[in-house]
Chain A
Amino acid sequence: MEQSKKTEGRASIIFSLIFAATYLLATLLLKRHLLGQTASILIAILPVIAFAFFIFKYVKAVANMDEVRQRVQFEAVIIGFSLTVMLLIALFLLSLTDISYPEWFGYSQLVIFCWLFYFIGWLVSKKKYGI
C-alpha cells in the first residue's frame, strides 16, 4: 500500500518532468518556424499528450494520498484555478479598452501564471494545515 502510494507520487513527478521537457522542446522548435504545417501541429500536440498523461498520473497520486494531503491538493487547485480565472477576467476586460501587455500576458506567460498560482495555492494550503 505504502509502496504503491510512493510509486504513484513518483510517476506523477516523472510525467510532470516529461511534460516540461516536451513543452520546452516544442517551444524552441516551433519558435524557429523551420517545420511545415503538419509537422508543427504534431509537435504542438506532443506536450498536450504529455500533459494529459501527467494529469492522469497526478489524479491517481492524489487518490492514493491520505485525506489531509488530498485536502491540500484540492485547495491548491481551487486557489490556482480561481486566481487564473481572475487574471483572465481582468485581461479580457482590459483588452476591451485596448489596454494589453502581450509581452507580459501572452499565452506562454499564462501557462506559467497557471503553474505559479497552483504553487501559491499549495503553499497557502500547506501552511493552513501545517504539513
Chain B
Amino acid sequence: MKNTIKVERAKKNWTQADLAKHIGISRQSLNSIETGKFIPSTILALRMAKAFDTSVEVLFQLEEGEY
C-alpha cells in the first residue's frame, strides 16, 4: 500500500510532528506509517484524512497486485 501523506503534509506545510499532534500519535509512529512500515487502522486513516480535509482514498492507495 502506498500513501501520499508526505505530499499532503507539504501542501499544508506541516512537519511530521505537527500532523502527529493533530491525529494524536507520536512523531515516530507517524514516520512508520508515512514510510509504509505500518498500515494504520480505519479510524486513524479517517482522522488523518480529516486533518488534511481530504478522503482516505486520496491518502492511501492499493498497489498493483494488492487488489
Contact = CB atoms under 8 A, between A and B. Distances in A.
A67 B24 contact: no
A68 B24 contact: no
A128 B29 contact: no
Interface residues of B, number: 14
A74 B29 CA distance: 15
B24 A129 contact: no
A124 B35 CA distance: 18
B25 A66 contact: yes
Given A129-B37, A129-B38, A130-B32, A67 B44 contact: yes
Size class of the A contact interface (CB-based, 8 Å): 10 to 19
The DSSP consensus for interface residues of chain B is loop
Contacts of B41: 67
A68 B35 CA distance: 13
B24 A1 contact: yes
A60 interface: no
Given A130-B31, A130-B32, A131-B32, A66 B38 contact: no
A69 B32 CA distance: 10
The 9 closest A-B CB pairs, nearest first, are A68-B29, A66-B25, A131-B28, A129-B32, A66-B29, A68-B32, A68-B38, A129-B37, A130-B32
